[in-house]
Amino acid sequence: METVKEQLIIRKDDYELIVAYLKGGLNRNSFDRHNAEELEAELKKAKLVNKNNFPADVVRLNSKVKILDEKD
């Protein structure tokens, strides 16, 4: 499976929710802290979009996605 890394696109309200969660978890164990730091670094590079301009084909928080095998 080929992985293509593109810029993260995230709605501003989802971004704010995730950042608030990360800031509330300062007393995590070192493994969780490391993952939180990596997530925070990715979020800093993300393109923030208002909900009115958010693309319909981008998965966001609480989305339901059905993945189909391309061979079928």
Exposed (0-12), middle (13-18) or buried (19+): which is 22, by Cβ within 10 Å?
middle
Residue 48 has pLDDT above 90, yes or no: yes
Q: Give every CB contact of residue 58 below 8 A, 6+ residues apart in sequence.
A: 9
**pLDDT category, 31, cuts 50, 70, 90?**
low
Of the two residues 1 and 11, the one the predictor is more confident about is: 11
Residue 67 has pLDDT above 80, yes or no: yes
Predicted pLDDT of residue 5: 74
SS3 of 52, please? Answer: helix
Predicted pLDDT of residue 10: 95
Q: Quote the CA–CA distance of 26 and 67 in Å, as a whole number.
A: 35
Query: Average pLDDT, stretch 22-51?
Result: 84
- Percent of the chain residues topping a pLDDT of 70: 86
Dihedral pair phi/psi, residue 10, rounded to 5°: -140, 140
Q: Quote the CA–CA distance of 19 and 66 in Å, as a whole number.
A: 27
